[in-house]
Amino acid sequence: MTAFPILFVCLGNICRSPLAEGVFRHLTEQGDRASSYLADSAGTGGWHIGNPPDHRSVKVALSHGIDLSGLRARQIVSTDFERFSLILAMDKNNLADLRKMAPPASRSNITLFGNYAFGDETEIPDPYYGATSDFEQVYSMLLTGCRSILAKLEAARAS
């Protein structure tokens, strides 16, 4: 079976989306499903291209056994809309930007992370200007959401 490609997107690809990528990968590795999914992350903006995730995202991830050290920020590119079946935006601004960037022929499912994970309009808040506790809150939201997303994807693949 082909690996299902999923892309997590935030503004700069240094806080939320790399943490979501790390959490999702960690969950698939725990369930021996890593080869079933291709998880990646990107930003709608290009300010941090090539930089590692924010040190607070790295710290929170490490405290939960997740290593983000190999990740580097990148900006979404047009081929991402061909490559990824599911593109999840962390907030409504990112979602609007993604929909503007998507080529007309894109068949990617571009939606809000909270919509796919929780079935509502929950946004994952940007912790960049906050404290470590804000990053911990984001981690908790992403963990719950990624568990839900993985369960939905697994159910869809099984049917």
20, amino acid identity: A
Rounded distance between C-alpha atoms, residue 57 and residue 50, angstroms: 16
Residues in CB range of 81: below 8 A, 6 or more apart: 87, 101, 102, 103, 106, 108, 110
DSSP 50-78: TPPPPHHHHHHHHHTT---TT----B--T
Most distant CA atoms of the chain, gap in Å:
43
Catalytic residue among 16, 25, 56, 74: 16
Q: Catalytic: 107?
A: no
Distance CA 59, CA 64 (A): 9
With CA atoms as reference, report the closest residue to 87 among 108, 67, 63, 73: 108
Return the active site residues: 10, 16, 126
